Amino acid sequence: MTFVGMICAGFGFRSEVSEACLEDVFSQICGLHSVTGEIKACATVTSKATSAAFQRFAQHQNLTILPLSLQQIARQKPVSYSALSYKLYGTGSVAEASALASAGDGATLLGPRLISHSGQATCAIAKGATK
């Protein structure tokens, strides 16, 4: 699911993340960036997309969940770097790579990922190309 100019939120998170943590980091990053269109989807790696907290978060935000393969994630060029993320997922930032991959070819980040206050989640927002 990608659309021209679609805005997507990408997430990285620990298995014990809470819905409140996801809500918090999402609202923080939306407040930091000028989102000029409605966010349609949230994305993460397939292995995390079935998390109960992530599922509830997406439902409450009315977002479509886009599970992404490790290959889709690894093709992206995030601006942030976490050695652990790179070791486990082949990317420096699961959140940034997920946002970029889900927003489609030519997508750009609205800014670097934001780390939640608890350190259990990261979120980034990307906008797809308009042409």
Q: What share of the chain is helix, strand, coil (3-state, %, to 5)?
A: 40, 25, 40
| Per-residue model confidence as pLDDT tens digits over 98-113 | 999 999 889 999 999 9
Answer whether residue 2 shows pLDDT above 70. Answer: no
Answer whether residue 90 shows pLDDT above 60. Answer: yes
Answer whether residue 118 shows pLDDT above 60. Answer: yes
Answer whether residue 128 shows pLDDT above 50. Answer: yes
Per DSSP, helices labelled H in the chain are 19-32, 46-49, 52-61, 70-74, 83-89, 94-103
Answer whether residue 5 shows pLDDT above 90. Answer: no
* Rounded Cα gap, residues 103 and 94, in angstroms: 14
| Per-residue model confidence as pLDDT tens digits over 11-57 | 999 999 999 999 999 999 998 887 755 898 999 999 999 999 999 99
Q: Domain extents for the chain?
A: 7-127
| Per-residue model confidence as pLDDT tens digits over 58-86 | 999 999 999 999 999 999 999 999 999 99
CATH for 7-127, among 3.40.50.720, 3.90.950.20, 3.30.420.40, 3.30.420.180?
Answer: 3.30.420.180
The residue type of 90 is G
The residue type of 29 is I
CA-CA distances (angstroms) from residue 25 to 8, 69, 116?
14, 23, 5
